Every structure is written in structure tokens, then in C-alpha cells.
Amino acid sequence: MGRLFLGIDVSTTGAKALLVDEKGTVVAAATTPLTLSTPRPLWSEQDPHEWWSGVTRSIQAALAQARVGGGDVAAVGLTGQMHGLVLLDDDQRVLRPAILWNDQRTGVQCDEIRARMGGRARLVQVTGNDALTGFTAPKILWVRENEPDVYARARRVLLPKDYVRLRLTGEAAMDKADGSGTLLFDLAARDWSAEVLRALDIPRAWLPPTHEGPEVTGAITAAAAAATGLREGTPVMAGGGDQAAGAVGAGAIAPGVVSLTLGTSGVVFATTDAALVEPEGRLHAFCHAVPGKWHLMGVTLSAAGSLQWYRDTLAPGESFEALVAEAASAPAGSEGLIFLPYLSGERTPYPDPLARGAFVGLTVRHRRAHLTRAVLEGVAFSMKDCMGLFAQAGLASVKQVRVAGGGARSALWREILASVLGAELVTVNSTEGAAYGAALLAGVGASARKDVASACGAAIARIIGRCIPR
């Protein structure tokens, strides 16, 4: 079979292990579900120990599925949910449940960060981003102000996938793409910002070294080998946050090609050759997992999540396929019915954790098909709101949109998106998303390809679907 590369994805819903060969063919995949905790309104947490146990089970299952041993895996790449806060003590023990990307408790701390930085404009200039409740920095301040006993014992800050890295290698490290999503980065310098750390009074010693996506960050320890079945000494690459790694997995690594993900949240992702920012900070500006590249990103928090809420609440027992097929019978525009998908607050372009969803314009003529179509259309227009900010940040025109995620399996939803965005939408032969991108980055780091562009060119070469705007 030749050398294999392992992509590990620590998402909000599951710990995934994906084995890919040197040609980019997926050999095996396994996912272990993860538990989400919401102990109070606006809170969202997970137990980092469950990430580790889920990752070990998924790796073992993928190796068994492929009928290979750990020695066949040449390198490991990591990806996962961004912005989460994992606090460790001196002995690298977890101090409290991780606070996740979709946690909304830190509105007061976001205001405090702007004030400490002398205003939003300076914060955006340095980090590329406004202070939003999902980011890591306001979570650190929240713990300092609300859990002082925990904060007093803290000695290390990690992101979710990097806790798994620590368990795999014994090394604390982070990739630059994920690091730039903490609100503690100097975007142009691609490393921690001394100015931000000083303003927020966060010790530099708490933060790990950062690396480009294909760089080696450590090797599998004897203990991790025993737990996972991997070979001791196998190199572990930096990888990338889930959106950057997902863009690698879709081949969205050059300006003009936009990645659009219709997962629980909806994301539009555009690669840039320089550290561009949207002046008001309404777009995220992060480092890419591709060395020397950056990206702009817009996020609507409830994309396919809106459809899931709608199905679970108003049509329990119905399949998504049946609901969407019914929606095709409703006319475009849903006869004036509008759905606002702000079920979890919003990030782009309305950074408001208290924004709320709504159906607007209901009449006695509307049936379930209209409601379902309105949900699909509302999400599409929210994605258009995100993409509309690209030009204001100095991005050249969009040539192609590569769409992925669970919602992208719907032909009707893809057609609606193409028409609303006014852009060609394509699906490609790569469908495994962030884990696939992490595996490609592992391959580059292990010299299977000379760089990320050649890895993507070899593995992601075939368009399998196309939607043209109507």
C-alpha cells in the first residue's frame, strides 16, 4: 500500500481519524462522537479528556479498517475546532472544561479588550480581528475575572487539537493558522503579539511556540503509541485550524478560489497573498495553513444547524432529504417568507451574540415547503452578506466557489447558493474536509510532495459537480 498519512480532526461533534495514501486516496476513516455540555445559558464546553479518548479509539478503528499497522503511517497531521480555551497547570493537567468557539459568555471581556487596546481600530490593525465572544483571548480574561482560583494555577494555554498534540507527543505547540484565531497574534508577523499580551496582561510563557502547517512539532511518544497503535517516533506536523485545513482539503489555497462550508456553521474562506483586513473587523483575518499565505473568513453561526433545528423542532422524524425535496416545490423567494438564521447569535457581518432568528412574512398561503425553502434561502443570503465584505478588504474578484459540508449534499441548496451568490459553485473529488487537509499537510511535511500546492494539485484534481447562477 505504500506510506500512509493520518489526519486527525477534533471537531465539536466528533474525533475523526482519516488515513490517506501517497496519491491522496482515502484508505480508511473513523469517527468517535463527542459530548457537548451547555451548563448555563450562552455557555458551551467540552472535556479535553474525552477528545483524547475519542482520538485513540478513532485511530485504532481506522488502522483496523485499513488492515495496517502503526508502522505504515509515515506522519500525522492535526486539525480541529478553533478558538477554544484549554487551561493546564504546571503538571500539564486540565484545570477546567474547555470553553468552546460557540460559547457566548464573554461580551463584557470583549469590551474590555477593545478598551485596553485603545479601541477597535488598533486591535484590528494588529490582530486582523475585532474582539468577538468566540475567540480565545476574552475567554482567558473571563476565567481571570470569574474563576480566580483556576487562573492562579494556570501555566499553559492550548487550543483543542493542540491538547491532543500534547498527549501524542509530549510537546506543547500550535500552528500559525489556529494561533491567529486566538486574538493574541500579530497577523502580519505570524506570531504572538507582544503588544496585545502586554495590554491584556497575559504571560507569554503560557503560550506555546507556533509553526507553519507542514512543519514537524514532535513525535509519537511510547505512551501515545501504546494508546493509539501508532509507531513510536512517527512525526506529528503542525496542521491547521479546521477552516484552514478544510481549505487545503478543498484545494482553496490561491486567491480567486473561495471555499464555502455548509456545516453546523457556514464559512466562506478566501486565500490572500498578504495580511489583508476588513477595516471594521467584520471579517476574520487569519494566517493560512499554507506557509506564507493568509486568509479572510466570514462565519454565519447557524447554517446547516438552522436546517437541523428546523427539522428537529417542526418536523421531527422527517428525513432531511424528504424536507428538501418538498422545498423544491416552493417558488424562489418562498412567496415573501424570510428566515433569519441567527439562532445562536451571529458573527459575520453582525457580530452580536444576542442576535436572534425569525420567520418574517408568514401568511395563510405558506405551507411547510415554503418554510423549508425559506430556511435554505435565509442561510444563502447570510453567506452572501459574508462574501460581500471581501471586496472591502481589498480582495480581487472571486473566480470559483468550492462548496463542501453536510449541507452541500443537497442539490437544491447548491442551486440556491449559486443564484444568491452570483458565482459558479463546484464540488470536487475531495469530500473529507479538514481531516483530509491535515493528512495532506502531514504528507508535505514528510516530503511526499514538495509543497502544499503540489499536494493539492495531485490529490484534488477533479470537479464532480457544477452549479451556474440562474
Active-site amino acid positions? 242
Please choose, from the candidates 240, 244, 169, the residue with its C-alpha nearest in 3D space to the C-alpha of residue 211. Answer: 240
Q: How far apart are CA 70 and CA 74, in angstroms?
A: 9
Q: Do 446 and 408 meet the contact criterion of CB atoms below 8 Å apart?
A: no
DSSP secondary structure, 56-74, as one string:
HHHHHHHHHHHT--BTTEE
Beta strands in 154-199 (DSSP E): 156-158, 174-175, 185-186, 191-192
**Helices (H), ranges, 184-237:** 194-200, 222-228
Single-letter amino acid, residue 265: S
The cell numbers describing 330, all together, are 416552493
The cell numbers describing 216, all together, are 514537524
Q: Do 311 and 320 meet the contact criterion of CB atoms below 8 Å apart?
A: yes
**Helices (H), ranges, 231-358:** 242-250, 304-314, 320-327
Question: At 18, is the secondary structure helix, strand, or coil?
Answer: strand
Q: Output the CA torsion sign for 317, 319, 325, 328.
A: positive
Pairing of strands 174-175, 210-211: parallel
Q: Do 151 and 93 meet the contact criterion of CB atoms below 8 Å apart?
A: no
| Cβ-proximal residues to 67 (8 Å cutoff; 6+ apart), any chain | none
Q: Do 373 and 334 meet the contact criterion of CB atoms below 8 Å apart?
A: yes
Helix 304-314 to helix 320-327 angle, to the nearest 10 degrees? 100
Q: How far is CA 385 from the centre of its chain?
A: 19
Q: How far apart are CA 395 and CA 253, in angstroms?
A: 14
* DSSP-assigned beta bridge partners for residue 6: 19, 76
The cell numbers describing 247, all together, are 481549505
The cell numbers describing 27, all together, are 484508505
CA distances 38 to 43, 110, 179, 214, 348, Å, are 5, 21, 25, 35, 23
Position of cell 465584505? 389
Pairing of strands 235-237, 216-219: antiparallel
The cell numbers describing 277, all together, are 483586513
Q: Do 88 and 95 meet the contact criterion of CB atoms below 8 Å apart?
A: yes
